[in-house]
Amino acid sequence: MDKLVVEGGVPLQGEIAVSGAKNATLPLMAATLLASGQHKLSNTPRLRDIRTMGRLLEHMGAACEHDDLMTIDTGSVQKPEAPYELVKTMRASVLVLGPLVARHGCARVSLPGGCAIGARPINLHLEALKQMGAEVLLEEGYVIARARELKGATITFEQVTVTGTENILMAASLAKGATRLVNAAREPEIVALADYLNTMGARIEGAGTSQITIEGVRELTPPADPFPVIPDRIEAGTYLIAAGITGGAITLTHCSPEHLQALIEKLRSAGLTIETGPDRIQVRSNGPIRSIDVKTYPFPGFPTDMQAQFMALMTLGDGVSFIVEQIFENRFMHALELTRMGARIELDGRSAMVRGVKGLSGAPVMATDLRASASLVLAALAAKGITSISRIYHLDRGYESMETKLSQVGARIWREKE
Ligand code: EPZ
């Protein structure tokens, strides 16, 4: 296993190009199962999770190539199943469930199992498919779903679910009749998926709002032109904090500031100067980091995927910051590792109290999940001395060439074999 080693204390300066969004690419790859033929995606990031989804599609019989463009041919998919060996490494595999039932009438998908940040059940996905007429059974750790023909329905999600909304958006595209989603997720990745489905001939309205209507059609066809993946707003947000925590100044390019409004407002309150252009964000440190409070919400609120990174910044605040994680029940594992670097954090259930300290010191720490590992890198960039971060396969799931991008703006960071 690899580890990342960071010698902290360098204010980062320069320009970073943001990659395509992991959480947009994954549903788009699943959506190719809805339309037989060759699909092309551009601006796709090179990440572990993307490779896993590619392997999953190949397991079903699709052909996947990832050069400059990602090309997926679903013309010969004949095995509608997602095995445990693949699903256990990436819960987003559940996104093939809706497309498989809609296009093939059946699906056998392993239950994702537990995850470091929470139980993360998929009950809302399954209830919605049942409402659309699917027969759903659980057998030996697998979801078996069958439907001769899915029927449109009005589905109210009791809790906002991103992949739940995506799964049903895809299933409803080929259902008979109209489907209305109430309390749907509003993330930019949902809008991107709806755009892709509409380009294939689907009839979706309201994506990006909490009410989405889908008029089912009989067939979808792969778009003629490559479809561009939207920029990764969480990668972008992570690098904004990298500038703030090191007292530097960075310009992000190839990004969408409109996807980061809640975070940008919080970072401005924390004392950073941020200017935005159509596809760029300039951030620079402007004096001490101010301790501010944050609660995580579904989009357009402050994203849970930025909570760990924001906590790293608050460890160096000028007072006390209260952070409440309202989406997942166990998303503070980074706090225990930050404490090893000298941070002062007290946890109480879903709340964390962060007392700012003058400085952090390097230490050996361990990554536990994707965004926790990003949080540790950020703290290491600011800490005095050397930090080694083990189990960084977590980081490789969601950040393309992070050490290369950070080195380009002056960070002293390198990869070593454990
Ligand atoms: C997506 O996960 C993202 N993953 C997550 O990003 C992100 O943290 C999360 O949305 C919230 O924004 C992808 O898009 C691939 P949810 P998802 O369904 O869809 C509960 C990252 O770092 N829930 O919106 O799995 C659930 O337990 C990852 O890139 C149910 O109870 O999240 C959670 O508490 C981590 N039953 C809450 O809802 C269900 O059927 C939100 O989960 C579904 C969800």
Domains of the chain: 2-19+231-417 (3.65.10.10), 22-228 (3.65.10.10)
**DSSP code string of 147-210:** -SS-B--EEE-SS--HHHHHHHHHHHHTSBSEEEEES----HHHHHHHHHHHHTT-EEE-BTBS
**Residue having the nearest C-alpha atom to atom 9 of ligand 1:** 162
350 within ligand 1 shell (Cβ under 6 A): no
| Strand pairing report for 106-110 and 142-146 | antiparallel
Of 166, 40, 150, the closest CA to residue 91 belongs to 166
Which pLDDT value is given to residue 117? 87
Tokens in use for 276? 């935005």
Q: Kindly give the distance from the C-alpha atom of residue 362 to the centroid of ligand 1, in angstroms, as a whole number.
A: 32
The mean per-residue pLDDT over the stretch 266-286 comes to 97
How much of the chain is in helix, strand and coil states, percent to nearest 5? 35, 30, 40
**Cβ burial, residue 343 (10 Å; 0-12/13-18/19+):** buried
* pTM (whole model) above 0.85: yes
Distance of CA 286 from the midpoint of ligand 1 (Å): 34
Whether 394 lines ligand 1, by a CB cut-off of 6 Å, is no
Atom of ligand 1 nearest to the CA of 397: 29
The alpha carbon of 117 and the centre of ligand 1 are apart by a number of angstroms equal to 10
Confidence band of 318 (pLDDT split at 50, 70, 90): very high
Decide if 115 is catalytic: yes
Q: Which among 327, 329, 370 is the best mutation to test ligand 1's pocket, defined by most ligand atoms within 8 Å of the CB?
A: 327
Condensed to tens digits (0 to 9), the pLDDT of residues 366-387 reads: 999 999 999 999 999 999 999 9
Where do the DSSP E strands lie in 298-370?
A: 320-324, 344-348, 351-355, 364-366
Q: Mind listing the pLDDT tens digit for each residue in 35-67?
A: 999 999 999 999 999 999 999 999 999 999 999
Atom of ligand 1 nearest to the CA of 298: 12
Question: pLDDT-derived band of residue 100, with 50, 70 and 90 as boundaries?
Answer: very high
pLDDT average, residue stretch 73-82? 95
Give the pLDDT score at 418: 82
The amino acid at residue 250 is I
Question: 154 vs 59, 148, 166, 214, CA distance in Å?
Answer: 33, 19, 15, 10
Residue among 299, 302, 231, 298 at smallest CA distance from 270 = 302
Q: Which residues pair with 295 in a beta bridge?
A: 324
The tokens of 250 are what? 């960075």
**Predicted confidence (pLDDT) per residue in 131-174, tens digit:** 999 999 999 999 999 999 999 999 999 999 999 999 999 999 99
Distance 327 CA to ligand 1 centre (A): 8
Q: How confident is the model at residue 113 (pLDDT cuts 50, 70, 90)?
A: confident
* Cα maximum dimension of the chain: 63
17-31 confidence digits (pLDDT tens): 999 999 999 999 999
114 pLDDT above the threshold of 80: no
> Average of pLDDT values for 217-225?
97
